[in-house]
Structure 1
Amino acid sequence: MSRTVFCRKYKKEMEGLDAPPYPGQKGQDIYDNISKQAWQDWLKHQTMLINEKHLNLMDKAARQYLAEQLDKYLSGEDFDRAEGFVPPTK
C-alpha cells in the first residue's frame, strides 16, 4: 500500500514519494508535504526551464535559480515558465 500525503501544491490527499528527493531538511519537507504527481510535474517543468533558458547546471547561479523556482512551484506561488514552450494539442 502506498503512503499518502496532503499535497501542498495540489491541496488534496495524494500518493506520496517513495523516498526524500534531497538529503536534509528540504528533502524531508518535500517528502512529507509533496505528492509524487507534483514532484513529477516539477521535474518536467524544471527540464523545460533548463532547456529553454539554456541553464548550465555547473553554474551556481543557475542552481540557485532552479532552487528558488522549485520553492515557488511547490508552494503555489507565481513561478517562471519557459517562454518558448507551446503545449502539444491532443
Structure 2
Amino acid sequence: MRTVFCRRYQKELEGLERPPYPGARGEDLFNNISKQAWADWMKYQTMLINERQLNMMDLTARAYLNEQMDKFFAGEETDKVEGYVPPEHGGDAG
C-alpha cells in the first residue's frame, strides 16, 4: 500500500492508485491527497453539481469546481451544500 501525507487530513494515509488528472495537477493530487480525501471530495463534488445544477460542459462551472476542490483539499471554507456534514478524521483513526 502506497501512503502519502494527506494535505486535507494532515496525516499519513493510503494514497491514490493513479493520478486522477493528467499533467502537473494530477501529479500534485497523486502525491499529496489520500484515497479517502479523494473519495470525500467526489461525494462533495457530486452534491455541489446536483444542488447548484452545474452544467459540466460550461467552462465557468468547471472552473468553479476546481476552485472548490482546491479549497476542500486545503481544509479551507467551501461553499455549503444542504445537508452535507464533513467526515470526522481526527485522532488515530484513519
TM-score by length of 2: 0.87
C-alpha distance in 1 between matches for 2:84 and 2:63: 26
Partner SS for 2:76: coil
C-alpha distance in 1 between matches for 2:84 and 2:34: 25
Partner in structure 1 of residue 65 of structure 2: 66
Residues 4 and 76 of structure 1: CA distance in aligned 2, closer, same or farther (over 3 Å): same
Deviation for aligned residue 1:77: 1.0
Aligned length: 85
Q: Deviations over 1:19-38 (max 9, x none)?
A: 00000001000000000000
C-alpha distance in 2 between matches for 1:72 and 1:63: 14
83, 86, 92: which one pairs with 1:85? 83
C-alpha distance in 2 between matches for 1:51 and 1:85: 13
Partner in structure 2 of residue 50 of structure 1: 49
Partner in structure 2 of residue 7 of structure 1: 6
What 5-or-longer segments of structure 2 have no aligned partner? 86-94
C-alpha distance in 2 between matches for 1:63 and 1:85: 23
Deviation for aligned residue 1:86: 5.6
Deviation for aligned residue 1:73: 0.2
Residues 86 and 32 of structure 1: CA distance in aligned 2, closer, same or farther (over 3 Å): closer
C-alpha distance in 2 between matches for 1:20 and 1:71: 16
